[in-house]
Chain A
C-alpha cells in the first residue's frame, strides 16, 4: 500500500475517532449531575409550574460548581453570596450551600430564572427590580 495512502487513512481514521468521541463522550448537564451526585428528591416552589430536581454534594459550593462547569461547560455563570448559578441551553443549575456540603438544583430555564430571580434578574433576563434605593442590612432590610 502506498505510503501516502497509509498517511491519509491514518488522518481520516483519527478524525473519525474524534467524531465518535465527540458524540459519545458528551453528556447533558442533567445527565452529568444525576450520574455524579446523590438525588435528594424534588420540590416545586410556590408559583413555579415545574419541579426542581435536587441533588446533594459533599463538597462546598465553589468546588461543586467548578466540577460541574469543568465537565459540562456552561454558556454563562453568575456568583452571588448565596451560591453559584450556571446557565445552559435549556437548563439552569444552582449550586447553593447546605449543611455538610452543597445542594445542586437543576431546573428548566423558566423555572430557574423565576426561583433565582433576585440573583439572576437583569443579567439573564428581564427584571422589574426590587427597589431603587439602598436600604442596608438588618431586620426589615431584606428582599
Chain B
C-alpha cells in the first residue's frame, strides 16, 4: 500500500512539473530591442518599407517591436508611413519539459505585403537557421534575422539598399573587439585533418593487431 501511495505521489509531482507554466523571458535585452528598432527605423527611412517583429515563447508574447513605434510594440502597418509595404517577422518557440517526448521547437513565418517577400530560405542563405532561436545565442539569432530583412527586401528589388557608411571618427577608443576567434585553419581544414589522422591511426592499429594475431598463432603451433 505504501509503495502504491509513493508511486501515486511521485506521478502527481511529475505531472505538476510538466504542467507548470514556463516562465517566458524575452529573447532580447531592452537595449538590444531598442537598437534593433532604431536600425529598422533607419532602414524604413531609406526604403519606404516598414518592419516589425513578434515572437511568442510557450504561447506567451515575449518580444515585439517595429520601425514605427519602437521596441515593445508590434507593427501596425500604416500606408502613409509604409508607402512600399511592410514586412513582419513572426517567431513561435516552444520549450518542452524534460519529461515530455516532444523536443523544443521553433518556427518562423515572414508576413509581408511585398510581391517578393523575404523567406525563411533567404535567411538560411545568410547562414541563419530557425533552430538558432533555440540555442544559447537566441538573442543574436533573432537580432540578425530581423536585421537582415531590409537587406533581403533590397535584394528582391522592392526597395533600394540601405547604404553602408563607416563609423565616424568619434568612436570611443576604449571600445575594441573581444572574444578572439579560434584558428581559421583548424575551423576550415579540421574535419579533413581529423579524418586523415584517424585513417593513419586506423592503418597502424590494423597492422599491429594483425601482427599480434600472427604472433599468437605461431606460439600456439
Name B17-48 residues within 8 Å CB distance of A.
31-32, 34-35, 37-46
Q: How far is the CA of A25 from the CA of B167 in the complex (A)?
A: 36
Q: Mark A43-61, 1 if CB is under 8 A from B, else 0.
A: 0011100000000000011
Residues on A with C-beta less than 8 A from B115 are none
A35 within 8 A of partner (CB)? no
* Contact residues on B (Cβ < 8 Å of other chain), bracket: 35 or more
For chain A residues 22-74, which have a beta carbon within 8 Å of chain B? 22-23, 25-26, 28-29, 45-47, 60-63, 65-66, 69, 72-73
Complex contacts, A61 vs chain B, CB 8 Å: 151, 155, 161
Q: Which of B125-155 contact A (CB under 8 A)?
A: 125-128, 140, 143-145, 147-152, 154-155
- Looking at the assembled complex, report how far the CB atom of A91 sits from the nearest CB atom of chain B, in whole angstroms: 8
* CB of B12 closer than 8 Å to a CB of A: no
A67 → chain B closest CB, angstroms: 11
Contact (Cβ within 8 A) B155 A62: yes
Interface residue? B216 (CB, 8 A)? no
Q: Does B198 contact A (CB under 8 A)?
A: yes
Verify A73–B203 contact, CB threshold 8 A.
no
Given A11-B203, A80-B147, also A110-B177 (CB < 8 A):
yes
B176 interface hit (Cβ, 8 Å): yes
Q: Bits for B180-192, please: 1 = Cβ < 8 Å to A, else 0.
A: 1111110111001
Q: Are B196 and A80 in contact (CB under 8 A)?
A: no
Give every chain B residue within 8 A of A78 (Cβ-Cβ): 144
For A5, the chain B residues whose CB sits under 8 A away are: 207
Q: Is the CB–CB distance between B203 and A117 below 8 Å?
A: no
B176 touches A45 (CB 8 A): no
In the bound assembly, the distance between CA atoms of A29 and B151 in angstroms comes to 23
Mask of B201-213 contacts with A, CB within 8 angstroms, 1/0: 1111011001100
Complex Cα distance A65/B179, Å? 22
Give 1 or 0 for each of A63-96: 1 = CB within 8 Å of chain B CB.
1011001001101111111111001111000101
* Cβ contact of B126, chosen from A10, A21, A84, A133, cutoff 8 A: A84
Give the contacting residue for A79; candidates B148, B175, B188, B189; CB below 8 A: B148
Given contacts A8-B203, A136-B41, contact A77 B196 (CB under 8 A): no
Closest to A14 in B: B199
- Choose from B45, B71, B178, B211 the contact partner of A134 (Cβ within 8 Å): B71
Contact B193 A19 (CB under 8 A): yes
**A23 to B199 CA separation, bound complex (whole angstroms):** 16
**Which residues of A approach B to under 8 Å, CB–CB?**
2, 4-5, 7-19, 21-23, 25-26, 28-29, 45-47, 60-63, 65-66, 69, 72-73, 75-84, 87-90, 94, 96-97, 109-110, 112-118, 120-138, 141-143
What are the nearest 8 A-B pairs in CB distance? A18-B196, A11-B203, A75-B181, A15-B199, A137-B45, A134-B70, A47-B169, A15-B200
**Interface contacts beyond A29-B184, A61-B155, A80-B151: sample of 12 additional A-B pairs, CB < 8 Å, sorted by A:** A8-B206, A18-B196, A66-B127, A79-B145, A81-B147, A89-B182, A110-B176, A110-B177, A114-B175, A125-B178, A126-B176, A134-B34
